[in-house]
Structure 1
Amino acid sequence: MTKTAGIIVIGNEILSGKTADENSAFLARELRDLGVDVRKIAVIPDDLQLIAAEVRLFSQSYSYVFTTGGVGPTHDDLTMDGVAAAFGRKLRRHEQLEDALHRYYAQHLVEPNLRMADVPEGARLIGGQGMWFPVVAVENVYIFPGVPEILRKKFSRIRETFRDAPFHLREVYLRADEGQIASVLHRILASFPNLLLGSYPYFDNPSFSIKLTLESKDAAYVNDAHGLLLTELSKLDLEPVRPA
């Protein structure tokens, strides 16, 4: 079966509009490329009970869960507490993480920084080689920082952990109105009910006005659906165009 994922973005700054969320879009693209189907993205505040409830629900619902944000040393960094609560565990100071913090901060280390070494009991450390601070995972939950640059570096170290059978994609570009092709798309889905079929309008592109995407993990299935789509479009005197 296709691996699935849920992404939980944690932070009052996202919900208040102070900071734009870049992390969920990055993770969604990366996971799609790895063959993982992202089923839900949630944005929640720095609230211990909400974090615990969302992590618990996502963990039960998806193959993988990715959290971003809330892992620093300040009062509003509650992700580790929330993940621990989701699984009924206590926080424990991890010796390896504590050592990493001592090496990183050296003489500038202060007690609040050591909070970042407190992780749920039984947590796993992943991708430590070449990283000053590894990714912390609990069950199927992978805990990432909210700073996009750091998240991307950390994810790149462990991305192959999540590789699954790839999605096969065909794209069709048209000069048409979506209303013209709506019935065609319905017929395609009637013949290929497991096809992931997307229709996306463009209003400022001089070479095309619609982009259609056909996706499946079965390459032959996609190719057969693509062939039927071209046949049905030709009946409307519509031919694919090349994007500029």
Structure 2
Amino acid sequence: MDVALLTVGDEILAGDTTNTNAAWLANEITTRGAIVRRILTVPDDHDTIARWTRRFREEYDAVVVTGGLGGTPDDVTMVAVADGLSRERELFEDVRDGLLAKSEAFRDANPDLASEYEFDMDFEDSASLPSGARPLVTDAGWAPGCAVDGVYVLPGIPDEMKAMFELVADEFDGDTDSRTLYTPTPEGAMGDVLTEVREEFDTEVGSYPADPDTPNRLKVVGEDEREIERTIAWLRERVETVPEPE
């Protein structure tokens, strides 16, 4: 299962916000056996989001879009995804009713705050999702997400994104597995070994240098457990390894 991640936000491109969502999602998806093939960050621009949603949907098995959901003028992601998939938006009345009930509960629980700030979220607009979509709603946040045609639309706020991803996490199961070795050997001294191992085995081996006080990583990825173990054994014979750092 090949996956693309599309993160949305002017603040990420400006360097005001670190894109921790992409790193977290990539790790979660890879751990479940799927493969993240592409990560792209785009601005809060309707046409750009729509274009890349359409392109990634054609090229990958699944696309995860994060950011740009909510009630502010720059939250254009849901409309853009619908347009990118050539789908109209439809009002999901149960989602709207849930938002209204949540708003009333919030007002009752926070009367002082509710009277100080006007709560003007457009619930009908927020509950209007691409036609045929499966709504994704959690207690962690307000803005609904959705899953439609292999595209998963999640919030950008990390806690809300993580909670919503858990609703669909099992859909990213795949056949890929991995093992990691740790070595004090400099990457530049492993050129011949890394070339030969790729020719010898039906696995992918990545070398990831670290800072001077941390061992380098050799990550072996494949779909056959025995082939991965054979690769690991072959590497251990040719490269010094050390225990995983604590």
The verdict on a shared fold, with TM-score over 0.5 as the criterion, is yes
Deviation of 1:92 (Å): 2.1
Q: 1:230 to 1:119 in 2, by over 3 A?
A: same
Deviates more, 1:44-53 or 1:129-138: 129-138
Please list every run of at least 4 consecutive aligned residues from structure 1 whose deviation after the TM superposition is greater than 6 angstroms.
127-133
Deviation of 1:176 (Å): 2.2
In structure 2, the gaps of 5 or more residues are 108-113
Q: 1:132 to 1:80 in 2, by over 3 A?
A: closer
- SS at structure 2 position matched to 1:74: coil
- What root-mean-square deviation, in Å, do the aligned CA atoms of Structure 1 and Structure 2 show? 2.3
Map 1:108-127 onto structure 2 (within 5 A).
110=120, 112-126=122-136
Residue number among 136, 139, 155 corresponding to 2:146 in the alignment: 136
2:223 paired residue number: 217
1:183 paired residue number: 192
Cα distance between partner residues in 2 of 1:104 and 1:129: 9
In structure 1, the gaps of 5 or more residues are none
Cα distance between partner residues in 1 of 2:67 and 2:139: 22
Map 1:61-140 onto structure 2 (within 5 A).
61-106=59-104, 110=120, 112-126=122-136, 135-140=145-150
- So what's the TM-score if we normalise by structure 1? 0.87
Map 1:1-244 onto structure 2 (within 5 A).
3-106=1-104, 110=120, 112-126=122-136, 135-169=145-179, 171-192=180-201, 194-205=202-213, 209-231=215-237, 233=238, 239-244=240-245
Contact 2:140 2:160 in 1 (8 A): no
Contact 1:127 1:158 in 2 (8 A): no
CA displacement, residues 30-64 of structure 1 (integer Å, 9 cap, x when unaligned): 10111110000110001111111000011111111
- SS at structure 1 position matched to 2:83: helix
Q: 1:243 to 1:124 in 2, by over 3 A?
A: closer
- Size of the aligned set, in residue pairs, is 233
% identical aligned pairs: 30
Cα distance between partner residues in 1 of 2:75 and 2:142: 20
Q: 1:110 to 1:177 in 2, by over 3 A?
A: closer
Deviation of 1:161 (Å): 2.4
CA displacement, residues 177-206 of structure 1 (integer Å, 9 cap, x when unaligned): 2222211111111112x322111223332x
Contact 1:128 1:135 in 2 (8 A): no
AA at the equivalent of 1:219 = E
Cα distance between partner residues in 2 of 1:128 and 1:30: 19
Cα distance between partner residues in 1 of 2:234 and 2:121: 65
Deviates more, 1:172-181 or 1:69-78: 172-181
Deviates more, 1:217-226 or 1:46-55: 217-226
